[in-house]
Every structure is written in C-alpha cells, then in structure tokens.
C-alpha cells in the first residue's frame, strides 16, 4: 500500500458553503487522515494522507466541492509526513 500525502489550496467561492465539512466527510469515507481549515485570504487549505487512490478521490471531490461552491483553482503540493495526523479534523 503506497501512502500519499499532499497539501491542497482551494480558491474560489469555497468559504461559507460547507466546503470544510464536505471534504471531511469525503476524507472519512475514503479512509484519509488529515485536516482542513479556512485561510484569511478566502482559500481553503487541507492536508491529506492515505492510500494513493483514496487521497486522489478526495482531490477529485475538491475540484468541484459541495453544491454552492465555485472552485476556481486547486493547487496540490506533495508533502513529507512530519506531523502525526488525526483521523480528520476541521481546524479553526
């Protein structure tokens, strides 16, 4: 099983549309650990770690987000695993 860890930055209309809750539910459904939070510049940031195909499923969801979201940009950066990740949490 190959583990994959990435950091996402999602821009567009992604705050106030349940984006964080949606990514949390999608991550949990796909057995992906990590966290998600809103940024002051109106983007959403997330760190995802899990089996490669499961992380890819969450990334795919993030291209569209929940109803009401308008994703204008998605940046996916590979990341080294330096911190232990919780199951999946929404950070404030």
20 is catalytic: yes
43 is catalytic: no
The position carrying tokens 């940046």 is 75
Q: Please identify which of the residues 5, 31, 38, 91 carries the catalytic annotation.
A: 38
Strands 89-91, 70-78: pairing is: unpaired
CA atoms within 13 A on the CB side of 10: 28
Distance of alpha carbon 22 from alpha carbon 80, whole angstroms = 25
The answer to whether the beta carbons of residues 47 and 6 sit under 8 Å apart is yes
Q: Please identify which of the residues 20, 30, 43, 54 carries the catalytic annotation.
A: 20
- Quick one: tokens of 59? 């990334």
Catalytic residue ranges: 20, 38
């Amino acid at each position: 099983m190959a583990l994959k860890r990435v950091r996402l930055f999602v821009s567009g209309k992604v705050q106030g549309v349940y984006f964080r809750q949606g990514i949390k539910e999608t991550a949990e459904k796909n057995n992906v650990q990590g966290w998600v939070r809103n940024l002051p510049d109106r983007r959403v940031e997330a760190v995802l770690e899990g089996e490669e195909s499961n992380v890819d499923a969450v990334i795919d969801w993030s291209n569209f987000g929940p109803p009401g979201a308008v994703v204008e940009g998605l940046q996916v950066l590979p990341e080294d695993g330096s911190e232990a990740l919780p199951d999946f949490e929404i950070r404030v």
